């Protein structure tokens, strides 16, 4: 019977070849991986390596050209100049503040879409979070410039509500203030939180989706009030989501150079420093060394998050 069934036209590619690979699943997998690995190996890893190598190249002080002579001078310069440390601290502080604020604002939205909305409402919330996330990055930055401008929309709205005094007081506050929201750390903070908020909402919602509703019911059944259930059941189970989201908010803030240059106070941020050093200053070795800083900071952040048990519930 098998012979009668197999009597059709010969399959292509030949079955013998299919069987040869079927017996060698690992080889087949590695063969599939050849093109993507070639791409990542040459284009991406090759470039990252080139970047790292550049940070050890010397720079000719007079002609401002790079000479391929190995030196640690750039790294010494990066680590010893107090201004550089300021930039790193300022960027890190902003990243931490943005991460915390994003988590606080994101949680109720995520909780609502994961646990309380159902059917059409859930779909609506998903789209409502996803659309702003995928809306053009530059358009959103541009919008915030219009909103935060000295005579912009936010100022107009606050004046209409009679709250313009509050804004003035905030702008006079040292550290976060400035001549207007478009040139203050406060304005930059608002824009960062806005930009990365969906990256925080979606992982938290995904984590909460995975929490069986029966756990909440069990907590209530065992006598916990809603607030107790939140602190003892919901929040610990949402931690992996918060951790995942915070990696985005932290990493995206550390590396961004457009927001600090479009909306921001005069103080430099890591991304701007990298951009400026490779551009107008023409100091690629210093830019390369500086770009390693966010990687190190993200590494430290991940290690701390892991030690705090942020991934335990995964």
9 binds other proteins (CB under 8 A): yes
* Given 92, 125, 233, 276, the residue binding other proteins (CB under 8 A): 125
Q: How many CB atoms lie within 10 A of CB 239?
A: 19
In contact, 88 and 227? CB cutoff 8 Å: no
Contact range with other proteins by CB under 8 A, out of 73-81, 130-138, 172-180, 304-312: 130-138
Q: What is the nearest approach in angstroms of other proteins to the Cβ of residue 15?
A: 5
In contact, 257 and 269? CB cutoff 8 Å: yes
130 binds other proteins (CB under 8 A): yes
SS3 81: coil
Footprint of other proteins on 230-259 (CB under 8 A)? 247, 251-252, 254-258
Q: What is the nearest approach in angstroms of other proteins to the Cβ of residue 57?
A: 10
SS3 103: helix
Q: How many residues bind other proteins (CB under 8 A)?
A: 103
* Given 75, 132, 176, 282, the residue binding other proteins (CB under 8 A): 132
* Angle made by CA atoms 137, 138, 139, in degrees to the nearest 5: 95
Pattern 26-65, other proteins, x by CB under 8 A: x-xxx-xx-xxx-xx--xxxxxx-xx-xx-----------
Pattern 156-185, other proteins, x by CB under 8 A: xx----------------------------
Kindly report each contact of residues 147-156 with a partner whose C-beta sits within 8 Å and lies 24 or more positions away, as own/partner: 148/180, 148/181, 148/182, 148/187, 148/190, 148/191, 148/263, 149/180, 149/181, 149/182, 150/179, 150/180, 150/181, 150/182, 152/181, 152/182, 154/181, 155/181
* Given 134, 175, 225, 307, the residue binding other proteins (CB under 8 A): 134
From the centroid of its chain, how far is CA 222?
39
Pattern 84-123, other proteins, x by CB under 8 A: ---------------------xx-xx-xxx-xx------x
Footprint of other proteins on 135-154 (CB under 8 A)? 135-147, 149, 151-153
- Pick between residue 77 and residue 261 the one whose CB is nearest to other proteins: 261
* Given 64, 127, 215, 235, the residue binding other proteins (CB under 8 A): 127
With both helix axes pointing from N to C terminus, report the angle between 137-148 and 153-160 in degrees, rounded to the nearest 10.
Answer: 40
């Amino acid at each position: 019977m098998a012979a009668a069934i197999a009597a059709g036209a010969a399959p292509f590619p030949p079955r013998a070849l299919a069987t040869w690979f079927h017996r060698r699943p690992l080889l087949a997998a590695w063969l599939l991986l050849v093109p993507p690995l070639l791409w990542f190996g040459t284009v991406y890893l090759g470039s990252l390596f080139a970047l790292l190598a550049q940070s050890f190249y010397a720079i000719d002080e007079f002609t401002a050209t790079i000479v391929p002579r190995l030196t640690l001078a750039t790294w010494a310069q990066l680590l010893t100049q107090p201004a550089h440390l300021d930039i790193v601290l300022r960027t890190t502080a902003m990243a931490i503040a943005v991460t915390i604020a994003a988590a606080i604002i994101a949680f109720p939205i995520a909780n609502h879409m994961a646990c309380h909305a159902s059917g059409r409402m859930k779909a609506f919330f998903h789209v409502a979070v996803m659309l702003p996330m995928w809306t053009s990055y530059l358009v959103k930055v541009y919008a915030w410039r219009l909103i935060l401008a000295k005579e912009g929309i936010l100022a107009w709205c606050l004046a209409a509500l009679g709250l313009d005094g509050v804004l003035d007081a905030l702008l006079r506050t040292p550290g976060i203030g400035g001549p207007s929201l478009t040139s203050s750390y406060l304005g930059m903070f608002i824009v960062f939180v806005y930009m990365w908020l969906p990256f925080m909402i979606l992982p938290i919602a995904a984590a909460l989706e995975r929490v069986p509703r029966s756990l909440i019911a069990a907590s209530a059944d065992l006598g916990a009030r809603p607030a107790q259930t939140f602190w003892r059941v919901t929040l610990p189970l949402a931690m992996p989501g918060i951790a995942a989201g915070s990696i985005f908010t932290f990493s995206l803030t550390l590396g961004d150079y457009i927001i600090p240059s479009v909306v921001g106070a005069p103080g430099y941020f890591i991304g701007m420093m990298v951009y400026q050093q490779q551009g107008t200053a023409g100091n690629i070795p210093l830019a390369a060394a500086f770009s390693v800083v966010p990687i190190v900071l993200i590494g430290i952040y991940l290690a701390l998050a892991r030690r705090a048990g942020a991934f335990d519930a995964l």
